[in-house]
Amino acid sequence: MTRKLQILAVLALIGCATAVAAQGESSAGPLRTRLVRSSLRLTQPLPGLTEPAELLATDTLRRASVGGKYRTLLFAIRVPQDQSTYTSFSDYGHSETPAWGGFSGLPGGYWVYVYPHWYVWRDQANGAAAPSGARSWGPEQATGEPDTETAGDLSTAWASLTPDDQDEWLQLEYERPIRPVAVIVHATFNPGALGRVTMSRADTEEVDAWKGADPTPAGSDKGVSILPVKVDFETKLIKIHLDSKRVEGWNEIDAVGLVDQMGKTHWAVRATASSTYASQEEAPDREVRR
Ligand SMILES: [Ca+2]
Ligand SMILES: [Ca+2]
């Protein structure tokens, strides 16, 4: 791939797609064909251009990789007319379609539509396979054992709708009532926002169980916060409160454990939240957030 083509490919991928695409409309055939054939591997550095890590931090690629669910971009093709069918975002999944949108000879891969491009990835990341029916970044991603192995904006953790617009809470339900001695919070992106934990007695009354400064400092890439609690009742419903406005960025939670008096850690079976980034999947006709 020549330097010029690399630049075009990268521009297309980092959100300057419109300008490139406009150019592509006039000299459409060659540019499109070359974009398809140029196998842009983000795992390899692009000489003289933005480092792969920075590329992955961009808005478009983040969406296109479904928050890190897919890796190793094979190619991107511009098919703006697919918006009418696939809306502005679609995690289509694996496809072996060899021809699409006027392009042919396409290898198989995981297809994601972020208007106006299809991005096709070679791999699905390990551990990113959400539990059946779980939405990327939904509160349900905070149930079960920790499954987000690395720090980062990954869809196997819960994320609120907006990064800093309001303070947030995440409510977790456990299989049976236990008398907890500690809460263990696995934060995998922008940690440090924990401010309070409440627990429900019987069915309704919420009681403060912990309050203070998050033991994982803001600015860490990830952290496991162990919060000692002292309650004189059994509970199976707890709520962690995040000072999201104070700690910049999406304060994402991978899992929340409840430690009983025997030292056994229980993981949540259900979760709800004040808001979630996942709600876009329930309303695909809405404009994609971010
Ligand atoms: Ca925040
Ligand atoms: Ca998780």
Whether residue 290 lies inside any domain: the answer is no
Protein residues with C-beta less than 5 angstroms from the ion ligand 1: 164, 244, 247, 251
Are 225 and 265 found together in one domain? Answer: yes
Chosen domain end from 124, 153, 183 = 124
- Nearest ligand, CA 160: 1
Are 116 and 169 found together in one domain? Answer: no
Token pair for residue 280?
A: 């876009």
Whether residue 174 lies inside any domain: the answer is yes
Whether residue 286 lies inside any domain: the answer is no
Spacing, Cα 222 to ligand 1 middle (Å): 14
Are 237 and 116 found together in one domain? Answer: no
User: How far apart are the C-alpha atoms of 83 and 113, rounded to whole Å?
Assistant: 8
Residues in the chain: 290
Token pair for residue 32?
A: 């499109």
Whether residue 221 lies inside any domain: the answer is yes
Are 267 and 161 found together in one domain? Answer: yes
Could you tell me the CATH number of the domain that includes residue 207?
A: 2.60.120.260
Are 143 and 118 found together in one domain? Answer: no
The edge-to-edge listing of strands for the beta sheet with 223-228 is: 223-228, 180-189, 252-260, 265-267
Are 157 and 45 found together in one domain? Answer: no
Residues 207/199, Cβ–Cβ less than 8 Å: yes
Are 59 and 31 found together in one domain? Answer: yes
End-to-end CA distance of the chain: 31
Residue 121: is it exposed, middle or buried by C-beta count within 10 angstroms (0-12/13-18/19+)? Answer: buried
User: How far apart are the C-alpha atoms of 58 and 15, rounded to whole Å?
Assistant: 8
Spacing, Cα 168 to ligand 2 middle (Å): 18
Chosen domain end from 96, 124, 152 = 124
- Nearest ligand, CA 165: 1
Q: How many domains does the chain have?
A: 2
Are 159 and 272 found together in one domain? Answer: yes
Chosen domain end from 91, 124, 157 = 124
Are 204 and 252 found together in one domain? Answer: yes
User: How far apart are the C-alpha atoms of 254 and 218, rounded to whole Å?
Assistant: 16
Are 87 and 169 found together in one domain? Answer: no
Are 99 and 55 found together in one domain? Answer: yes
Domain that holds residue 160: 139-279
User: Residue 157 carries which side chain, given as an amino acid letter?
Assistant: A
- Nearest ligand, CA 163: 1
Spacing, Cα 157 to ligand 2 middle (Å): 4
Q: What is the number of other CB atoms lying within 10 angstroms of the CB of residue 98? A: 11
- Nearest ligand, CA 247: 1
Spacing, Cα 246 to ligand 1 middle (Å): 6
pLDDT in tens, the chain (290 residues): 444 444 444 444 443 333 333 333 333 333 332 233 333 333 333 333 333 444 444 677 878 888 778 888 888 888 999 999 998 888 888 888 899 999 888 888 999 998 998 989 888 876 434 445 688 899 999 999 999 989 999 999 999 999 999 999 999 999 999 999 999 999 999 999 999 999 998 767 899 999 999 999 999 999 999 999 989 999 999 999 999 999 999 999 999 999 999 999 999 999 999 999 986 554 333 333 33
